[in-house]
Amino acid sequence: LSSYYKNIYFLVPLENQIYKYTKISTGWSEPKDTIDNSKADISKAVSFDIDGYIYVLSQDGSCLKLSKGNPLPDFSLKNIPLPAEKIENPKTIVTSVELDSLYILDEGQKRIVEFDKEGDYLRQYIIPENIGQIKDIAVNIKTQKIYVLADAFIYQFGL
């Protein structure tokens, strides 16, 4: 689930689609396809977010950047640092119009990896080992914090 302006988007990997619902006077519109299925495979997607472009994070740690439902061919995540040099167990991708970066939760390496919106690595945030099962993250640019939901607790870290 993600929102962008007056729209709500739902990721349905089994249907290789992200559905868009628009707010109308009587509630919500019928779903509208946003992905060109013949050009983009999101069947193994685990997360997505929107800032005007749609960023789709896949099970293998790769990320698609879509414009008008079509993948941008020159986009990829670059220079992923040690210890794994790849996103080992991707869980969540976070971005927005307000954010200048993409934040990817790599549950396998207990880290959040930050990329610019062209896919270039910027930095990583290592999550302490004593934090339990990580479920989700949120980023607030105004407070300069990353929030991590783990087990039943919320942890915060500075950007």
pLDDT tens column, 50-89? 999 999 999 999 999 999 999 999 999 999 998 778 899 9
Please name each of the domains of the chain with its CATH number: 2-158 (2.120.10.30)
Q: Confirm if 7 and 18 have CB atoms less than 8 A apart.
A: no
Tell whether the torsion through CA atoms of 94, 44, 126 and 137 is positive or negative.
positive
Report the C-alpha gap between 10 and 89 in whole angstroms.
22
- Residue 13: DSSP 8-state: G
Q: Is the pTM of this model over 0.85?
A: yes
What pLDDT was estimated at residue 152? 87
Contacts of 59 (CB under 8 A, 6+ apart): 44, 45, 46, 90
Examine the pLDDT at 47 and tell me if it is beyond 90.
yes
Confidence of residue 24 (pLDDT cuts 50, 70, 90): very high
